[in-house]
Structure 1
C-alpha cells in the first residue's frame, strides 16, 4: 500500500480544476475578441488608393504568374500570390509598406504583414467593383432608368454605355460585346449569375469559361458604381483566344461577322444548347427558321437533253427547313464608272429591297465545286431579336473589295410580314411582325478582315438616347445620323406592344 508521500509524487505537476478549465476557455475568447477589435479598427485603411484599383485584368500574380490564391494590393493595385511569410504578397507588404489586401477569390480583406482579417463596411464598394451583382428588381429597372453615374475622377457615365479598351486589335470584338449587352433577354440572363450557376461544365470546359467571362463584362458595363468610366474586356478576350484555339486574337484584327457566328454558337454550346430549338438563351433570343427551296441546274445547253434531265428526281425542287441566327443581305454590285461630274457616285438602296431575297419568290444562283443550284428563301419563324448582316465584302483571286452602298432603313416599324411564308399556320404564329432597331455596327476604312475599324451605335432605352461607341470614345448621336453610315450588322427587336 502506497504511502502519502508516494501518492504526492504520482500526482500531475498541473492540477486541472474546474476554475482552471474556465480560465482556459476565457483566454482564447479574449484573444478572439482582441483580434476582432483589431479587424474592425485597422489603422491602414486610409492608405487604400481606389484610383489604382483595376480588377478587369486576368487574376494572375505579377511575380509568379500563378492564378492560385491571388491577392490584390489595395495601395498600388498589383496582384501577388499568398499571404504567408514566404509569399510574394507578404514580401511586398514588408518592402513597400503596403498593408491592405483583398483575396480576389473569397473577397476577404487582410492586413499584412500582421496577417489579420479586416472587416469594415467602408470596403464594400471595392467588393462590388471586383464582383458586381444584380438582383432581379435592379435588372427590371434598367430599361426605365436614366440615372447617370459618377466615377472617381468625377467623369460621368451612363450605366450600359461605357467605353471598352482596345488592347491592340480587338475592336471587332468590342462592338459585339456592346451590342449584345443591349439585347434585353441576353443581358438580363447574364447579369444574374444564378441563371447559369446550375450548369455543370466538364473539367477544362473553355466554352463555359467564355460564358462566365461574358457575364462579367455585362455586369461591369451595367455597374452603376464603377471607379472608372470605362471597362477593359481583357479577361473576356483571353477566354475568346483560348476557346477559339487562337482563331480570334487580340493582336490581329478579325472580321466581326465571322467572330459573331463563332461566338453565338460557342455560347449556345457552353450553355448546354443542342440542335433543337429553344435549348439556350441564345437560341431563344436569336434563332429563327426558313424554308430553302433548291433545284439543281443541268450542265447542258441541248434543249432535248435539258428537257429529259428536268424530269429526273435529282433536278426537281426540294425544300429544306433551315434554322438561322442571322440573315445575310446581298448588296447590288457598285457602279464601275464615275458620274457625269467625274466624281465617285455612292449608290443607295432601301433595306426592304435587300430583304426581298427572303420573300419566297426570288431565285439566286449558287455555285459550288459539285454543282450549280437555284435557291429561294422564305422565313417560317421570326426570332424575338433579328440580326441582319449586310454583305459588304467580296473576295476574288487577287483582293477583297468593299461595297460602299448606303442602305436606307427606318429606325422603327420594320415590317417583316411580307417575308413570312404564306402557310396559315406560320401566319397565325406571328401576331407581331414589326421590329425596331436597337444596335447598328458600322465598318469604316479599308476592306477585308484585318483592316478598317469598327464602331457601334446603340439605343439606351432608359435614357431614350442613341450613343455611338468606338473603343473608349462615347458620344451622343442623333437618330438621323444612323442611316448615313455604312451599316454592317444590325440587331432589331420585335415590337410586341404595337397593334397590328
Structure 2
C-alpha cells in the first residue's frame, strides 16, 4: 500500500525537522552566554575570511570572524563544528542563527549588536541629539561622547578623517544622512558608505568608542581613481571640495526622480557671490604706471576733459611751476596749463589754482577758435553750407560763454561706458582667504616672531571695494556676498604652489570663537530687513553673526608633510575637543584661537 506523498510533509509535532527547529523557543538555546562583544567589529568589509566572497556572509558572535554560508560543508558550518561556536549573525538580514542546528534565535539581547552593525535613528532621537550630550561607556570601560569619537587612520588618511569630523557637525547634513530611508534609496555606494559612517559616529551603543571608516575610504579610492592614493599626503581642502561636489551630484540625480531640486549640502553650505570682472591690458597698465611715476617726479597731472559743447576730448596737463620767477606766493599756487590735441602741444598758459575752472574755460575757448581758423584756411575750397554751419556753432559758443560748463572726468571703471566690465553670479561652498605674503628678509629680532592677522582684514576681499588682481587671466575682480549660507566654510590659503614646490605660510589668523560679524560684507539688498531700507542711511543693518564650531589645523613646518587635526565645539557641555585620529582630548578655547587654522566651519546664529 502506497502512502500519499503529500502526507509526508506533515510530520508529528515532536519530530526534529528543519522547519520545527527554525521556530524553536528562545529558552531552549543554551549558547547565549558565549557571545563576546569585545571581539565584534563591523567597521571592516563584510567579506568571508575563507572564500573572500561578499554574498551570504555570517559573523561568528563568539570570535568575530566572518564566514560564508549556513548549510553543511560551508565555511560557517565547518567553523561551528570544529571550534564549538554556535551563534552567527547574518550581516545582510541582521538575524541570528544557531549552527549547526540551523534555527533562528530571537532575543532582545541582540539589539545592541544589531545597532552596531546597522545603526538607526528616529525623528525623536534626531531632535534631541544635540540637546542631551551623554557620556557613554565602551565595552572596554572607556568613556566617549557620541558624535565626538576618534577615527582610525587607515593608510595615512588623516585628511579624510578631519573632513568627516567637520561634515558631521552640520545639523541638516547630519540629520539627512542619519535617516536610513534617504541613503538606502540611492544607488551611489559613496553616499551609502558616507551615511553609514556618520551613523556609526553618532551611535550611542558603540562597543569600541571609536569608528574605523574602512568602507568609506575604500569607496573614496574607487570613485576618485588616480586622484586619491593610499599612504600619500593630500590636501583636505581639495578632498573636501571634491567630496561635496560628488555627494551633491549623486543626491541630485536621485532627487530628480522625486522632482526635488535641493539637497542637504545645498541648503547647508551653498552661498552666492556677485563678481565684477574687468579685463585689463597689461601693456597699457604698465604705460599708465610709468606716466604716473614720471608725473610724480615732474609734478604734473593729466586729466581727460570732455567739454559741454561736444567738440571732443582734450588732454590738459597741469605742471607745477618750478621757476622761482614765476612763483606768486610760497604756497606754489601757480601752475602751467598745456592743452594738447592730436597734433601736439598748441598752447601754454600759467593759471591760478583758485580760478582753475575759469582759466580752463578761457583756454579751451581760445583753442577752439584757433582750431576753427586753421580749419577755414585748410578748407577754402569747401562748400558755403559748411562755412555757415561753423559760423552758427561759433555763435552758439558765444551765447554759452556766460554759462558754467560741465567738465566730466572719464573713469576707466565706469561700468556703463566700459565694455570690458561684467557682472557674474557664482555659487560657492568655500570663502577663500589669502594670507599676506611672508617677507623674504627679516630682522634679527623678527626671526622668532610669528606674524598674525585678524580675520576681518582677510575678509575685506569680499567688501566689494577692493580689486583682486589676476595677472594670468589678465583681469581684476571685486567680490561681495549676495546670499550667505547657514553654515559657512572658510578656507585659509596656507599652502601656496610655486616652481620649487609647495610652501606653507605660518601666519596665525585671529578669529572670534563667537559673534563673527559678516553684515559689512553682504550686498545691501541682502542684509536689510526691508529692501527699501538700503536707500535710508539711518536704517539699521540686520546683524549677521556666526559661531565657530569646527576648525581644521595643520601640524608641521613643511607642506606635504605633517598631520591634520580638528577642534570641535560641544555646545551642550560648552567645551572644545581636540581630535587627532583616535585621540580625543578636552582643550581650552585659547588654544583654538592661536592654532594654524586651515578650514573653518561657522554656524549662523538664530536671531
Q: Normalising TM by the smaller chain, what interval?
A: 0.7 to 0.9
Deviations 1:165-201 (A, max 9, x none): 01121100101111111111111111111234444x3
Within a 5 Å distance, the mapping from 1:77-476 to structure 2 comes to 77-199=64-186, 201=187, 208-272=188-252, 279-301=262-284, 302=287, 316-341=420-445, 343-368=447-472, 371-423=473-525, 428=530, 431=542, 433-448=544-559, 450-476=560-586
* Secondary structure in 2 matching 1:216: helix
Matched, 1:46 2:26: no
Per-residue deviation, residues 337-359 of structure 1 (Å, max 9, x unmatched): 34443633211000010011000
Distance 1:28 1:146, change over 3 A: same
Contact map agreement 1:145 1:463 (CA 8 A) in 2: no
Q: Distance in 2 between matches of 1:140 and 1:28?
A: 51
Structure 1: distance between partners of 2:432 and 2:441: 27
CA distance in 2, matches of 1:327, 1:185: 20
Deviation of the 1:89 alpha carbon: 1.3
Deviations 1:272-315 (A, max 9, x none): 26999962110110000011111111132456xx999x799986
C-alpha displacement of 1:431: 4.7
Instruction: Report the count of equivalent residues.
Output: 472
Structure 1 residue 486 and structure 2 residue 596: aligned?
yes
- Following the alignment from structure 2 to structure 1, what is the Cα–Cα distance between the partners of residues 4 and 228? 73
Match of 1:5 in 2: none
Q: Cα distance, 1:424 vs. partner?
A: 6.1
Judge which range, 312-321 or 283-292, deviates more: 312-321
Q: Decide whether the 8 Å contact of 1:39 with 1:116 is kept in 2.
A: no
Residue 6 of structure 1: aligned partner: none
Greater C-alpha radius of gyration: 2
Quote how far apart the aligned CAs of 1:45 are.
1.9
The range that moved more, 44-53 or 404-413, is: 44-53
CA separation in 1, counterparts of 2:9 and 2:220?
Answer: 60
Distance change (3 Å), C-alpha of 1:408 and 1:342: closer
What CA distance in whole angstroms lies between the structure 2 residues aligned with 1:474 and 1:418? 37
Q: Deviations over 1:44-84 (max 9, x none)?
A: 22221111000001111112211111111111111111112
Aligned mates of 1:27, 1:328 — CA distance in 2: 74
Alpha-carbon RMSD across the aligned residues, in angstroms, is: 3.0
Q: Deviations over 1:319-367 (max 9, x none)?
A: 1000001110000012333444363321100001001100001111113
Q: 1:314 to 1:251 in 2, by over 3 A?
A: farther
Deviation at 1:137, TM superposition (A): 0.6
CA contact (8 A) 1:440 1:457 kept: yes
CA displacement at 1:146 relative to structure 2: 2.4
1:420·1:426 contact (CA, 8 Å) conserved in 2? Answer: no
Distance 1:466 1:24, change over 3 A: same
**1:425 Cα deviation from its structure 2 partner:** 8.1
Displacement, 1:35? 4.7
Q: Secondary structure at the match of 1:245?
A: helix
Q: Given the superposition, is the C-alpha separation of residues 378 and 71 from structure 1 closer, same or farther in structure 2, using an over 3 Å criterion? A: same
Q: Which shows bigger deviation, 332-341 or 359-368?
A: 332-341
| Contact 2:58–2:88 (CA under 8 A) maintained in structure 1 | yes
Report how far residue 444 of structure 1 moved.
Answer: 1.0
Deviation per CA, 1:221-264: give whole Å up to 9, x if none. 11111111111010111111111124223322211000000000
Distance 1:246 1:238, change over 3 A: farther
Q: What is the CA distance between 1:99 and its match in structure 2?
A: 1.6
Q: Are the structure 2 counterparts of residues 328 and 27 from structure 1 closer, same or farther at C-alpha, using a change threshold of 3 Å? A: same
SS of the residue 1:289 aligns to? strand
Name structure 2 gaps, 5 residues minimum.
Answer: 292-303, 305-409, 532-540
The alpha carbon displacement at 1:410 in A equals 0.4
